C-alpha cells in the first residue's frame, strides 16, 4: 500500500436491517467495502463503541476475512472515555484486536490518559 487516498470509510453509521444498532445489513456492507476498495480507497476507521460494540466484528467479517491484509489500512479508536482502571487497558485492547481479526493495528486513535499503561500496548502497534 503505497499511498493512502484522502477518503476514509468510517463505520460509525453502517446499513442496518432494523432500528437495532447491532442488526447490520452484512450483504450491503460487504458490497460497500468491495466498491470502496475497487475504487482504490484503503483507509477504514472504526471504534470499540460504534454500533453498540459490533462495528469491529462486522468489519472483520466484511473486510479482514475477505481481502488481503496488505490491501487496506485499519484504524480503531480506543474507548478512553469509559476507561475503567489501568489494569483493564491491555484486556480491552486485546479484545479490539480479536474483534477486528488482526494481530496489530497500525494506528490507535484516541490518546490514552497519562498513567494508563500505554507502554504495555506498544508491541501491538505498527
Say yes or no to pLDDT of 25 above 70.
yes
Confidence band (pLDDT; 50, 70, 90) for 5? confident
Q: Are 95 and 53 in contact (CB under 8 A)?
A: no
pLDDT at 16: 97
The share of the chain scoring above pLDDT 70, in percent, equals 76
- pLDDT at site 60: 96
Q: Grid coordinates 475497487 are at which residue?
A: 38
Model confidence pLDDT, tens digit, residues 79-108: 776 666 777 778 888 888 889 889 887 656
Candidates 3.20.20.100, 3.60.40.10, 1.10.3720.10, 3.30.70.1170; CATH matching 8-113: 3.20.20.100
Does the pLDDT at position 116 exceed 70? no
How do the domains of the chain map onto residue ranges? 8-113
> pLDDT tens across 61-80, in order?
999 999 999 999 998 887 77
What residues contact 105, with CB distance under 8 A and at least 6 apart? 74, 75, 76, 96, 97, 124, 125, 126
Residue 37 pLDDT grade (very low, low, confident, very high; cuts 50, 70, 90)? very high
121, pLDDT greater than 60: no
All cell numbers assigned to 70 = 496488505
Q: Which three cell numbers mark 95?
A: 479484545
State the average pLDDT for the chain: 83
Alpha-helical segments (H) within the chain: 26-38, 50-53, 55-59, 89-100
Amino acid at each position: 500500500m503505497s499511498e493512502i487516498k484522502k477518503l476514509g470509510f468510517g463505520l460509525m453509521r453502517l446499513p442496518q436491517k432494523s432500528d437495532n444498532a447491532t442488526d447490520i445489513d452484512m450483504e450491503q456492507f460487504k458490497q460497500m467495502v468491495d466498491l470502496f476498495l475497487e475504487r482504490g480507497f484503503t483507509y477504514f476507521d472504526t471504534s470499540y463503541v460504534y454500533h453498540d460494540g459490533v462495528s469491529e466484528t462486522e468489519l472483520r467479517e466484511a473486510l479482514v476475512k475477505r481481502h488481503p491484509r496488505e490491501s487496506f489500512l485499519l484504524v480503531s479508536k480506543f474507548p478512553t472515555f469509559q476507561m475503567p482502571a489501568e489494569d483493564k487497558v491491555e484486556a480491552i485492547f486485546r479484545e479490539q484486536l480479536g474483534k477486528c481479526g488482526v494481530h496489530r493495528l497500525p494506528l490507535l486513535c484516541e490518546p490514552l490518559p497519562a498513567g494508563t499503561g500505554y507502554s504495555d500496548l506498544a508491541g501491538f502497534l505498527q
